[in-house]
Structure 1
Amino acid sequence: MQSSENFGDYSKTFITDVPTDLESETAIFYARTLPRFPDEAIYIYSFKEHRMIYAGGWEEILGYKDNEINMLAIVNMSAPEFAPFSHELNDKALQFIHQKSKDLEKYSFSIELKKIHKDGTAVPIFARVGVYSSENGKITAIIGRFQVNRSLIFGKVMRYAAYGPEKEKFEEELNKILFSYLAISNKEREALELVAKGYSFKEIARDLKVSHSAIEKRIIPLYKRFNVKSLTHLVSFAYDNSILP
Structure 2
Amino acid sequence: MFPDRTFGNYSKSFITDLPADLESEQARHYRETLTRFPEEAVYIYSFKENRMVYADGWDEILGYKDEEVSMMTIVNITSPEYAPFSHELNDKALMFIQSRTEDLEKYSFTIELKKIHKHGHDVPLIVKVGVFSSEGGKMTAIIGRSQVNRSLKLGSVMRYDAYGPDKSKFEEELNKQLFRHYAISGKEKEALAMVAKGYSLKEIAYEFNVSLSAIEKRIFPMYKRFDVKNLSHLVSFAYDNHILP
TM-score range, shorter chain: over 0.9
Runs of 4+ in 1 over 4 A off after TM superposition: none
Name the residue aligned to 2:64: 64
Output the amino acid matched with 1:124: P
8 Å Cα contact 2:5/2:76 also seen in 1: no
CA RMSD of aligned residues (A): 0.9
Residue 7 of structure 1, CA deviation: 2.7
Alignment of 1:102-181 (within 5 A): 102-181=102-181
Alpha-carbon displacement from aligned partner over 1:64-113 (angstroms, at most 9, x marks no partner): 00000000110111101000000000001101111111110000000000
Aligned to 1:229: 229
CA distance in structure 2 between the partners assigned to 1:209 and 1:75 by the alignment: 38
SS at match of 1:67: helix
User: One-letter code of the match for 2:122?
Assistant: A
Identity across the alignment (%): 70
Measured against aligned partners, the alpha-carbon deviations of 1:163-218 in whole angstroms (never above 9, x if no partner) come to 00110011111112111100000000000000011101110011112211111111
TM norm structure 2: 0.97
**Aligned residue runs from structure 1 range 24-39, under 5 A:** 24-39=24-39
CA distance in 2, matches of 1:53, 1:181: 32
Report SS of the residue matched to 2:19. coil
Provide Cα deviations, 1:13-72, integer angstroms capped at 9, x if missing partner: 011010001100000000011000111000000000001110000000100000000001
Deviations 1:213-244 (A, max 9, x none): 11111100000000111111100000000000
Q: What secondary structure is seen at the aligned counterpart in 1 of 2:11?
A: helix
Whole-angstrom distance in 2 between the partners of 1:177 and 1:192:
21
3-state SS of 1:215 partner: helix
Aligned to 1:195: 195
Aligned to 1:185: 185
Structure 1 residues not aligned, in runs of 5+: none
Mapped partners of 2:216, 2:88: distance in 1: 25
One-letter code of the match for 2:215?
Answer: I
Residue type of the alignment partner of 2:57: G
Q: Which runs of 5+ in 2 are unaligned?
A: none
Contact 2:128–2:145 under 8 Å retained in 1: yes
- CA distance in 1 between counterparts of 2:138 and 2:219 reads 35
